[in-house]
């Protein structure tokens, strides 16, 4: 039997086990605001890097300007689909969220027509695959114990966390010229 990465299937896409269908369904009608910023990536594509840069921009690079300077980045820029609707609603404006949601799963319909702003970062799929392989082997919730060849097949088939890298990136790429979407690429 081929090794697999443990995931929850949400709308046909393998999500990390921290997200399930009920949690996502509750977010579908999440009201977006004009001062909401979503930092969007496929998993293992520079999300934490983008969170840190965004936090520094928000505080104008001055640590003394922010009361929550000692908070972890995940507290100041929470993972939208993991914290759930109630917690997301309580984040003060301007809200900054990280997400790995595919384009078509962003609340409120078409992100390009949304009042919210989105910064998308794409990373070379070879780098994503290698990083995700190690991530899947190290984190116990992934329960992956296969070798690289096995993992690479799963990655190419979109059977790892967040599904197909190719679909995720191409769906956001199609909307890169929208006024509220900034599409960036990360080189490693």
| Euclidean distance between CA atoms 155 and 64, whole angstroms | 43
Catalytic position from the list 100, 104, 135, 168: 100
Q: Could you confirm whether 104 is annotated as catalytic?
A: no
* Partner residues linked to 185 by β-bridges: 122
| Euclidean distance between CA atoms 120 and 98, whole angstroms | 10
| Euclidean distance between CA atoms 4 and 185, whole angstroms | 29
| Burial per residue of 31-55, b for 16 or more beta-carbon CB atoms within 10 angstroms, e otherwise | ebeeebbbbbbbbbbbbeebbeebb
| Euclidean distance between CA atoms 77 and 97, whole angstroms | 5
Q: Could you list the active site residues? A: 100
């Amino acid at each position: 039997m081929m090794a697999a990465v443990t995931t929850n299937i949400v709308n046909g896409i393998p999500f990390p086990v921290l997200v399930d269908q009920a949690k996502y369904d509750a977010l579908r009608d999440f009201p977006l605001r004009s001062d909401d910023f979503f930092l969007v990536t496929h998993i293992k594509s520079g999300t934490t890097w983008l969170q840190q840069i965004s936090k520094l921009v928000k505080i104008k690079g001055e640590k003394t300007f922010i009361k929550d300077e000692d908070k972890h980045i995940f507290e100041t820029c929470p993972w939208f689909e993991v914290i759930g609707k109630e917690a997301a609603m309580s984040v003060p404006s301007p809200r900054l969220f990280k997400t790995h949601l595919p384009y078509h799963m962003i609340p409120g319909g078409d992100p390009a027509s949304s009042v919210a702003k989105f910064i998308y970062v794409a990373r070379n799929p070879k780098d994503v695959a290698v990083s995700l392989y190690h991530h899947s082997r190290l984190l116990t919730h992934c329960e992956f114990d296969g070798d690289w060849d096995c993992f690479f097949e799963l990655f190419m088939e979109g059977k790892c966390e967040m599904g197909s890298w190719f679909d995720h990136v191409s769906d956001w790429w199609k909307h890169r010229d929208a006024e509220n979407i900034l599409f960036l690429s990360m080189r490693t």
